Chains A and B, each alone.
Chain A
Amino acid sequence: MSVSLDVTERIKPPRAVFLPFMMGHHFGVPHHKDLQTEIIKTALSRITKAEKSGDIFHFPKTWSEARKEGKKLKVKRQKFGD
């Protein structure tokens, strides 16, 4: 998992998923279970999908999108409870 593309490119792990997210939030935003699970499943899918070493998959969601989804879920939780 990576939120720092330059670091990952220098370290050269065999497989990586790059997320344009804030440090400390590699698996998304609080209480967004679907996103957290999707990130893990994406990472694990690279075990079979990566064709050569050095594969860096760019996760198709921005930090802004993730935060907006998290805020919507927070409002929903406050309104209806968990």
Chain B
Amino acid sequence: MKTQTEKELRPGLWETVNERYPDSMITKDDFVELAKLSKPLSESRLTFVSTAGVQPKGSMPFDTVHPVGDYTFRRVPSNAKPKDLEIHQLKYPTFGAEEDLNVIFPIERLQELTQEKFIGGLTESFYSFIGYNMDGERLENTLAEDIAEAVEAENADVVLLSPA
């Protein structure tokens, strides 16, 4: 039986992009071991990591035109209001987010779920970067490690990851 990847809708995409930008389209061979939650979600601290390019107004804009990407991240206060945030990213349709940021960065829904005690709490910051990074190795070894370190320092129990 063919796997989903073998019958994928965009055959040849990985090879074509990797030819132009070597190793930019990542393929993993192994599955990461499932981590178990050590306490109920209602007592757990959650953080949100997003590639949506959302950032506090006034912070250094992401470099959205650099040919190989921007390998930095921004902290977004988890108690921020959407009106205090803006998007610097050109690689996905933002018309929905311009009307309601929660469609890609659901900060208000996560705040509500915390008030309702569905989630125990939120880390002080959420984490945001841009998804256009064409050096996969650099992405994994610098940006991903930097965010993981920051998330760990905030004692997050749960991480919700969303690309854009």
Contacts and interface: CB of A to CB of B under 8 A. Distances in A.
Interface of A: 1-7, 9-15, 22-31, 33, 36-37, 39-41, 43-44, 47-48, 50, 52-54
A67 to B, nearest CB: 10
Contact of A36 (B35, B99, B109, B118): B109
A25 to B, nearest CB: 5
A12 B3 CA distance: 13
Contact of B162 (A10, A12, A15, A26): A26
Contacts of B110: 40
Nearest to A2: B163
A14 to B, nearest CB: 5
Given A24-B104, A30-B99, A10 B26 contact: yes
26 contacts: A1-B160, A6-B8, A6-B9, A9-B5, A9-B8, A11-B28, A14-B31, A22-B96, A24-B93, A24-B94, A25-B103, A25-B104, A26-B163, A27-B102, A27-B162, A28-B103, A31-B100, A33-B109, A36-B103, A37-B109, A37-B112, A40-B106, A40-B113, A43-B160, A47-B41, A52-B34
Interface of B: 3-5, 8-10, 13-14, 25-28, 30-35, 37, 41, 52, 92-97, 99-100, 102-104, 106, 109-110, 112-113, 118-119, 158, 160-164
Given A11-B26, A30-B99, A24 B31 contact: no
Contacts of A2: 163
Contact of B32 (A9, A26, A53): A53
Contacts of B5: 6, 9-10
Most buried by B among A7, A39, A50: A7
A67 B54 CA distance: 23
A31 B101 CA distance: 9
A27 B103 contact: yes
Contacts of A11: 26-28
